[in-house]
Structure 1
Amino acid sequence: MSHNLALAQNHAFDLARTLMVPVVLFQVDNEFGVMVSSEYDGEEDAIVHEYDPWCPAH
């Protein structure tokens, strides 16, 4: 796992827990982004993982 991916995953999980809403971690080219799931309208194939604060085991 790359350092950038691990960092992005940690930030995505923290953001989901802070906002208490599901967020998606997505990748475009070599960059990662995180946003609230309900606002994401990008490519489904770009999603790395969805973090749901109500179901932390996922």
Structure 2
Amino acid sequence: MSHDLSLAQNHAWHLARTLMVPVILFKVDDEYGVMPADELDDAEVEPLFEYDPYQGGRPAH
């Protein structure tokens, strides 16, 4: 988890390119986190961006 959005975005993009799967950058409270998109359930997180290694990043809304 990170408090810095730009750092979290950078890590999200690198994770997507490393795993070659879409990942979601999400926010919980005041922290940002990243997880593979297929693992995101209806958890209490606010998805912000989706990073697809083939198409780039886009807002999750």
Same fold by TM-score greater than 0.5: yes
Task: Tell me which protein shows more strand as a share of its residues.
Answer: 2
* 5+ long unaligned stretches in structure 1: none
Superposed CA RMSD: 1.7
Equivalent pairs, count: 55
Moved over 6 A (4+): none
Give the structure 2 partner of residue 32 of structure 1. Answer: 32
8 Å Cα contact 2:23-2:52 kept in structure 1: yes
User: 1:5-50 CA deviation, whole Å, 9 max, x = no partner?
Assistant: 000000000000000000000001101110000001125x700100
The structure-2 alpha-carbon separation of the partners of 1:57 and 1:34, relative to structure 1 and needing over 3 Å to count, comes to closer
TM-score (norm 1): 0.84
* 5+ long unaligned stretches in structure 2: none
Task: Tell me which protein shows more helix as a share of its residues.
Answer: 1
State how far apart, in whole Å, the 2-side matches of 1:24 and 1:57 are.
10
